[in-house]
């Protein structure tokens, strides 16, 4: 099942994508797709509905963030050994964790707005893991039982802020619009093996990233278990699990960074595609 939210900012509605790629309106069943909807009982109820009986949404629509009230967006750094190498960093012995501000979260095709004075903004295609059941000190063997589903995340990063401004990653990771998620939340039953998903990213039509989640240093199950030792994972929290090589920082002979007018496309096998246009700082694009 592919769950989603659609509509203008402040007017989002819950929906699902049917087998023919048609967006169906779930408003008669749910007021919105919130963290409270991610439990097994609600997901089973939604899965029992015949999509053909739901109203079809006509025309192109804005794809909104997949959950209305994402509580935490927790990211994992250097979780692909070849990406660590291109970044000039060691493969970590334990997962590297940082958070992205929830104010960074946007719909998958919303404008990406560079922060003022940005000179080193970068891209990262990542597998997002959406928590559906509270996880606290969970063993890896049971960790996937706490996952509602998966999504695409672009972990946009301002490298100067991240690496040259005091060594605190959050400053370069949590900028407004730097957390596109979606287009869909694909429920876990449709992703039997999250460790075998192809992923890719292009900028202006050039393929920069091609990878597969099988090369993660720490698996999804290991990450859910590990993070649950340090904080409670609640329904609606999202874990962004790291990126394969090919980021702008690692390009040779010189890094390549995002500029206004650039177009980013990225996707993960079975989880959909994102398309963003990069803009110079403009508060109206963020707030509107």
Mean pLDDT to the nearest integer, 63-90: 90
Residue 126, pLDDT score = 98
Q: What pLDDT is attached to residue 166?
A: 81
pLDDT at 88: 81
- Residue of 161, 168, 188 whose CA lies nearest to 249: 161
What pLDDT score does 200 carry?
A: 98
Is pTM beyond 0.75 here? Answer: yes
Residue 92: band (very low, low, confident or very high) from pLDDT cuts 50, 70, 90: confident
Amino acid 87: pLDDT: 76
- The confidence score (pLDDT) of residue 182 equals 97
What is the C-alpha to C-alpha distance for residues 103 and 176, in angstroms, rounded to an integer?
6
Is residue 165 over pLDDT 90? Answer: no
pLDDT for the residue 151: 98
Residues 6+ apart with CB under 8 A from 167: none
Domains of the chain plus CATH, in order, are 68-287 (3.90.850.10)
pLDDT at residue 168 is higher than 80? no
Write the secondary structure of 148-215 as one string of H (helix), E (strand) and C (coil). Answer: EEEEEEECCEEHHHHHCCCCCCHHHHCCCCCEEECCCEEEHHHCCCCCCCEEEEEECCEEEEEEEHHH
More confident call, 92 vs 112: 112
């Amino acid at each position: 099942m592919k769950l989603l939210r659609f509509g203008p900012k402040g007017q989002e509605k819950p929906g699902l994508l049917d087998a023919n790629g048609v967006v169906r309106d779930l408003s008669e069943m749910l007021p919105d797709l919130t963290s409270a909807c991610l439990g097994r009982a609600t997901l089973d109820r939604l899965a029992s509905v015949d999509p053909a009986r739901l109203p079809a949404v006509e025309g192109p629509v804005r794809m909104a963030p997949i959950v209305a009230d994402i509580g935490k967006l927790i990211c994992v750094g250097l979780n692909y050994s070849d990406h660590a190498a291109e970044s000039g960093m060691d493969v970590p012995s334990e997962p590297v964790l940082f958070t992205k501000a929830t104010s960074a979260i946007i719909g998958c095709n919303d404008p990406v707005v560079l922060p003022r004075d940005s000179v080193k903004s970068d891209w990262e295609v990542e597998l997002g893991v959406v928590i559906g059941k509270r996880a606290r000190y969970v063993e890896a063997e049971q960790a996937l039982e706490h996952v509602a589903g998966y999504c695409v995340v672009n972990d946009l990063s301002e490298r100067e802020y991240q690496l040259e401004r005091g060594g605190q990653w959050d400053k370069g990771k949590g900028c407004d619009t730097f957390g596109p998620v979606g287009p869909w939340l694909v429920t876990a039953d449709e992703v039997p093996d999250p460790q075998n998903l192809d992923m890719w990213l292009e900028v202006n039509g050039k393929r920069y990233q091609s990878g597969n989640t099988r090369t993660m240093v720490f698996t999804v199950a290991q990450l859910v278990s590990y993070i649950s030792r340090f904080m409670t994972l609640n329904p609606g929290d999202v874990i962004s699990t790291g990126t394969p090589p090919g980021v702008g920082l690692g390009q040779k002979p010189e890094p390549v960074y995002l500029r206004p007018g650039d177009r980013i496309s990225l996707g993960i096998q079975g989880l959909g595609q994102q398309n963003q246009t990069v803009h110079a700082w403009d508060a109206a694009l963020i707030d509107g």
